[in-house]
Chain A
Amino acid sequence: MKYFREHIDEFSKIYKESENYIIFNDGKPIRENILNEEDVEVSLDESLDPRDICEVERCDAEKKLIKNAKFNVNVKIHKPLQLKLIHLNDDEATVTFSFEIDPKIEVKIIDIYTRVDIKSHILNEILVNDRAKLDYFSFSRCEKSIEHKMNVYIDSRANVNLYNLMANEDEYRFNCNVYLFDKFSKLNQYNTLINNTKKDQEFTYKVHHLAKSSISQMRNNAICNSDSFIVINTDGIIKKDAIETDLNQKIKGILLDEKSNIIANPVLHIDEYDCKAGHGAGVGAIDEADLFYLMSRGIEKNDAVKLIVYGYIEPVISFVKEDEELTNYISEIIFKKI
């Protein structure tokens, strides 16, 4: 709480008493504001077991993470709502969070990792039950080296929109697995990754199509400057019998200086004939033709560059544009980096 009190002015910009929010310190909920208590259940020392959901075995790293976790926080959401989560870590921590969304409800989660000032290991798991809709926005600005894992399990006819905006200040490893484990499940994922830290950051996004007629679309935008390095791995996996699936993954990287580097590794693993799958990647400096187009309408070169870079961020940040204070808070951090 001491840490939270020290930074209260900074955080007070990003949550309101009129909304549902939970603030976590080192993985432990330290302040909850749930407007209707019946809507959300928060408990400790419980975590999801993917074997019960879609017969997926946990990897050893995840098992270790759960075993070492100080807290396994489980949040069950029973009613349509918007929930804001704010994470602060000031003590080296291993923390796990799991969210379960009840069937047939629409939920919006805004997940902010800010002031994670110490080396941490985080596991985030989300189960979206049948016919539910989840809009999930995550913003990550961690000051210290983080290993972050995220697993999302999508049930039959459930629809998930994931928007991730990563602007971390140190080495960062993010590993995201999405399992479309029942028919007609749908994922739309948009990730924007920014690195100006002179450090290495690695992002791995895997989408597993385990059931028929599942659809996924993923867009990754990476912006790299100040002699920094980003690796983006995208894996599209279509299992046998996951017929009539449709998978599409794209990576676009923009280098703002000569020394920065982005490596894109798009991979498809397809074990079924009756499916559609496509992927692509492109990395380079700002396109001179794009610059010419904007300048030919009177916009100065520096402003044209800013507009093009902003175009990589806007599709994600626009997801929270109705929350003006939060948008301003995030924009301020982002524009300092680019």
Chain B
Amino acid sequence: MKLVIKDLHVNVETKENVENNKTTSIEILKGVNLELNTGEMHAIMGPNGTGKSTLASVIMGDPRYIVTQGEITLDGEDVLTMSVDERSRKGIFLAMQYPNEIQGITNSDFIKSAMQVRLGKDKHISLFKFIKEMEKSVSELKMNSDLPHRYINEGFSGGEKKRNEILQMKMLKPNFAILDEIDSGLDVDALKIVGENVDAMKGENFCSLIITHYQRLLDYINVDHVHIMVDGRIVLSGGKELIQKIDQEGYDWIKAELGIDPKINQEYLTRSVSLGSCALNTNNSEKK
């Protein structure tokens, strides 16, 4: 299967002033081109505020973003006209940076419902098979055995939430899994477990797009392609050698070699934009 992103431009509307309710549109993605094939593992790296999380959210169909130009296709089919749930059933999965807490719905009921909708109305999941598979995945992720019976992400630690995203990925078996900073908030052991579980998904029907800031997650995931995103565009693609270079030298060499300033989108950061919160945190700490 092939997921193709062509010349993707995306805006987000922000409230300029709460009192007069005026909104301003800011361009976050400024022409992204990317091709993902099942059987491949991709990583996207880049400074804060350059649009990595926005790209992940737009592929999944987050309604907060407005696509102004370009296309996303899945085996030639227009993804942008699909609803969020349709994209998921077609095989796209987003492991979120800040997964929501939803009271009153247990993890296992939620995952079972999500698996059921993939089967259609005439077929039903075998409860025995579901429980076996769930227990196996929970054990592989070294999660507490009561976790499936707890409400979705409610009262979970940051690390438990991230593992829970990977648990859902393992159970739903998507073709294209976008992992948005799945390593943030994980301790060294949890990082290894998550990394190894993602790497184990590698196969001819699976492709992962891993968004990360650090080499450490990619120590456990064998990626084939690395892309560097700066100011809303993918400015460089290559192999694993890029990971080491970023880890050692940061992003300043991009300016020297490519003539692109890897600056953070300041306009995007100074407005109350409800996304890319790692970038906003960075901006706040810079202000301090």
Does B bind A? yes
Interface string of B162-176 (1 = CB under 8 A from A): 000000100010000
* Interface segment, one of B98-106, B246-254, B265-273: B98-106
Residue B117 interfacial (CB < 8 Å): yes
Do A289 and B104 form a contact, CB below 8 Å, given A296-B94, A298-B114, A301-B83? no
* Interface segment, one of B84-92, B133-141, B226-234: B84-92
Q: Are A311 and B102 in contact (CB under 8 A)?
A: yes
Do A312 and B85 form a contact, CB below 8 Å, given A288-B63, A293-B99? no
Q: Are B104 and A296 in contact (CB under 8 A)?
A: no
- Expressed in whole angstroms, the minimum distance between the Cβ of B161 and any Cβ of chain A is 11
Do A311 and B104 form a contact, CB below 8 Å, given A292-B62, A297-B168? yes
Q: How many residues of A contact B (CB 8 A)?
A: 25
Partner of B102, one of A252, A294, A295, A296: A294
Q: Are A295 and B104 in contact (CB under 8 A)?
A: no
- Expressed in whole angstroms, the minimum distance between the Cβ of B170 and any Cβ of chain A is 13
Q: Are A297 and B114 in contact (CB under 8 A)?
A: yes
Residue B216 interfacial (CB < 8 Å): no
Question: Which chain A residues (168-221) contact chain B, with CB distance < 8 Å?
Answer: none
Question: Which chain B residues (190-248) contact chain A, with CB distance < 8 Å?
Answer: none
Do A297 and B88 form a contact, CB below 8 Å, given A288-B63, A290-B100, A292-B63? yes
Q: Are B84 and A307 in contact (CB under 8 A)?
A: no
A301–B84 CA distance with the chains assembled, in angstroms:
9
A308–B93 CA distance with the chains assembled, in angstroms:
20
Interface residues on B, range: 20 to 34
A153–B288 CA distance with the chains assembled, in angstroms:
52
A301–B89 CA distance with the chains assembled, in angstroms:
13
Residue B113 interfacial (CB < 8 Å): yes
Residue A310 interfacial (CB < 8 Å): yes
Partner of B85, one of A252, A288, A298, A307: A298
Q: Are A299 and B83 in contact (CB under 8 A)?
A: no
A290–B102 CA distance with the chains assembled, in angstroms:
7
Partner of A295, one of B84, B96, B105, B110: B84
Residue A300 interfacial (CB < 8 Å): yes
Question: Which chain B residues (100-131) contact chain A, with CB distance < 8 Å?
Answer: 100, 102-105, 110-111, 113-114, 117-118
Q: Are A314 and B104 in contact (CB under 8 A)?
A: yes
Q: Are B102 and A314 in contact (CB under 8 A)?
A: no
In the complex, residue of chain B having the shortest beta-carbon distance to the beta carbon of A312: B104
Residues from chain A with Cβ under 8 Å of B104 in the complex: 310-315
Residues from chain B with Cβ under 8 Å of A313 in the complex: 104
In the complex, residue of chain B having the shortest beta-carbon distance to the beta carbon of A192: B104
Do A312 and B103 form a contact, CB below 8 Å, given A298-B118, A300-B117? yes
Q: Are B118 and A296 in contact (CB under 8 A)?
A: no
Do A300 and B85 form a contact, CB below 8 Å, given A290-B100, A292-B62? yes
Residues from chain B with Cβ under 8 Å of A294 in the complex: 102, 110
Residues from chain B with Cβ under 8 Å of A289 in the complex: 100
A314–B168 CA distance with the chains assembled, in angstroms:
22
- Expressed in whole angstroms, the minimum distance between the Cβ of A219 and any Cβ of chain B is 9
In the complex, residue of chain B having the shortest beta-carbon distance to the beta carbon of A317: B104
A304–B62 CA distance with the chains assembled, in angstroms:
15
In the complex, residue of chain B having the shortest beta-carbon distance to the beta carbon of A289: B100
List 18 A–B pairs whose Cβ atoms lie within 8 Å, in order of A's numbering.
A252-B103, A292-B60, A292-B62, A293-B96, A293-B102, A294-B110, A295-B88, A296-B61, A297-B93, A297-B168, A298-B85, A298-B118, A301-B85, A310-B104, A311-B105, A312-B104, A314-B104, A315-B104
Residues of A within 8 A of B (CB): 252, 287-290, 292-301, 303-304, 307-308, 310-315
A295-B85, A297-B168, A314-B104 known, 19 other contacts, Cβ within 8 Å: A287-B100, A293-B96, A293-B102, A294-B102, A295-B84, A296-B60, A296-B61, A296-B84, A296-B87, A296-B94, A298-B88, A298-B89, A298-B114, A300-B85, A301-B83, A307-B105, A307-B110, A308-B105, A315-B103
